[in-house]
Amino acid sequence: MTIVLALFQSYGISNGILNLSDNIDPTIGGILFFQISAVISMTAGTIFLMWLGEQITENGFGSGISIIIFAGIVANLPFAIFNTFELGRTGALSAIAILLIILLMICLVVVICFVERAQRRLLVQYPKRQVGNKVFGGQSSYLPLKVNISGVIPAIFASSLLLFPNTISNFSSSSEGILASISFYLGHGKPLYMLFFFSLIVFFAFFYTGVVFNPKEQADNLRNYGGFVLGYRPGEQTANYLEYVVYRLTFVGAIYLGLIALIPEFLIAKLSVPFYLGGTSLLIVVVVAMDFFSQIQTQLFSSQYEKVLSKNKVYKSKWL
């Protein structure tokens, strides 16, 4: 599926370059050679990045594809910052507008960190068990459920799908017609684009949460370990309650993702900021960075735990 999408989009990009460039040989052979080489190059690059992401996931920390996207966004940050101050120097943006953008980005980082760490903790009780003369169990713990279970996947899926109208419009060299109109009304900052973007994010948030979280499986795991949620019977009743809680958390998470992603569209529409600032890019950077550092912390804790176990084994063998 990735290869098919890459072939489709690379062909559209090559057509768009042909429509904008006058330096390509206008003969059929020249155009055909350019399109074939462009499609093969971009598709091969996509396959290489997909393979590289899988290697990072298998041998590194966190999701490899997310880290690659994170690196691409961070690499463009200096250019985006320079562009912003250059607009202020030329008078295209006022100093107050630049200050408001910086404050907005800081507030967005705080909100993203707060929501991504937010959890709904369900109290789980484990009954007492008597083995011989000893009594075990009777303890309670919490089942943590994140507010945003789907992460940044809905925003990535939605933005990727909304690239298709622009890709299809590149198939035609005419600047008028139905395809050109669709591409114009679904451009960044347009009301129709914002509506579709927000709707797709909400849809994919529920869809992806349904894929990664199975209430019935979670309820069966609790029952197998002897745990139960207070006030609900193990099994189907617990599964229904977990589904009830998760989908209401997902609703809050979907609204949060949609609002975060739409902020740059308002900047484009109101302040005429010429580059994609904040929103989805900032969300990806913050979430991937948090996940990356948590993975490193987990690895450090596990390595320290293994060292302690090995030392205990050495002391025990010497004592014996």
Q: Are 64 and 52 in contact (CB under 8 A)?
A: yes
Token readout for 62 is 């966190």
Token readout for 147 is 């507010």
Predicted confidence (pLDDT) per residue in 81-106, tens digit = 787 788 778 877 778 878 888 888 88
Residues 234-253: b if buried by 16+ CB within 10 A, e if exposed: beeebbebbbebbeebbeeb
Token readout for 30 is 């020249």
Residue 86: predicted pLDDT? 81
List the one residue out of 215, 287, 293, 288 whose CA is nearest residue 256: 287
Tens of pLDDT along the chain (320 residues)? 889 888 988 888 888 788 777 666 666 667 888 889 999 999 999 999 999 989 988 887 777 888 888 888 888 888 877 877 887 788 777 788 788 888 888 888 898 889 988 888 888 887 766 556 665 556 778 888 888 888 888 888 888 888 777 777 766 655 566 766 777 777 776 788 888 889 999 999 999 998 888 888 888 888 887 777 877 888 888 889 899 999 899 999 999 998 888 877 777 666 666 555 567 788 888 888 888 888 888 778 777 766 666 666 655 555 55
Q: How far apart are the C-alpha atoms of 71 and 69, rounded to whole Å? A: 5
Token readout for 3 is 């290869």
Residue 37: predicted pLDDT? 92
Helix axes 95-117, 236-271, angle to 10 degrees: 170
Residue 32: predicted pLDDT? 84
Residue 49: predicted pLDDT? 92
Residue 45: predicted pLDDT? 94
HEC secondary structure over the chain? CHHHHHHHHHHHHHHHHHHHCCCCCCCHHHHHHHHHHHHHHHHHHHHHHHHHHHHHHHHCCCCHHHHHHHHHHHHHHHHHHHHHHHHHHHCCCCHHHHHHHHHHHHHHHHHHHHHHHCEEEEEEECCEEEECCEEEECCEEEEEEECCCCCCHHHHHHHHHCCHHHHHHCCCCCCCCHHHHHHHHCCCCCHHHHHHHHHHHHHHHHHHHHHHCCHHHHHHHHHHCCCEECCCCCCHHHHHHHHHHHHHHHHHHHHHHHHHHHHHHHHHHHHCCCCCCCCHHHHHHHHHHHHHHHHHHHHHHHHHHHHHHHHHHHHHHHHC
Q: Are 260 and 279 in contact (CB under 8 A)?
A: yes
